[in-house]
Structure 1
């Protein structure tokens, strides 16, 4: 079996598993909502109000009483299934499901003033063609790096940034239209970076710098970005190697007056005058 066939087989298996989980969670949700017995109400903790929520340990009790779970450990797994399929979430997105006095809420009970401004991580995990990784993001003004969860949606051609994998909404969204990316072939500050540029008529402008802890993750992102139509530029190391090993000018490209990249090979066989103009 080829690597491509193997990849397709794995992708199909993941999709089947996800569909099975969603069907199981949906049936469980319908039973919880139709039978009742789980107290869903406004609650207060440390002087802060949380609307239309339930207590996690009470859902554990309900799952055992209703016969959905044999014991509390199995009930916790079912509660986590509801989180993973994006049917419930912790009210401030800080916990996975636990048998404890923690407030959780069904997505359909979300109050208008707390409605999601974008897809959750759990939702994006179920979206085909989405790549999710823990990456470092360079802070402005060279103030170091900060880690976050980044999701690349090939469907929407956007990168979503989350604080953690429990987040209900992204903290920032980057559109990939008119974007290019330049990978770093060697570690920078112990990481393999991806420098994103916004392509303007006046030239390229740095927009975002992400970095992976290993070259395999960097490669997965390069491949996924390329499939989204993002132009993948040569790394600085590749550019240097090309300069050293080039045997003719026709191996290079240049940017024309319309800011479009043109291969000089199109001028092969023609008399060509190359002028180097320096200006501030």
Structure 2
């Protein structure tokens, strides 16, 4: 099991034992009434992260930060989005965009482990998961900023907000290879730079 899948397993195992009502079969009414098995609502997962990290060494300061932590799990396919937003967007391609971004809304997600027939959590699983929970959440908190940056860079430039372009610009300020460029050039670069992933390692296109 990869480290990120281990983090997801830990979080799911603790939820299943401490608050099992969060992961359950749910009926969703759009576009037609459908029953989805073993799902969790996006906003409720964020509520859980904020609650479980209260008064702990893991500092989660906002719902946005918690959503960024969930974005790491979504990007790593530990979580999958089962439904789109309850109010369909009229923007072409909006559903595809939404499915690449974790939403703090009434949207259903499923842990990959719940696709398996036997996904029960044993008492021993619970003991191990509880001992690893804070370290797992700390790891997500550290990975979250990079996940959000990749999410921004995958968006077409014309769909990026001013705040998102400012975030990219701030990242460019820390890249030594670009230190010879003026800030005005970096701002222009922040508006057009994009992220692409390729199957072969050490390949530059």
TM-score range, shorter chain: 0.3 to 0.5
Q: Which has the higher helix share?
A: 2
Larger Rg: 1
**What is the TM-score of this pair, normalised by structure 1?**
0.30
**What is the TM-score of this pair, normalised by structure 2?**
0.40
Q: Which has the higher strand share?
A: 1
The structure, 1 or 2, with the larger RCO (C-alpha pairs under 8 Å, 6+ apart) is 2
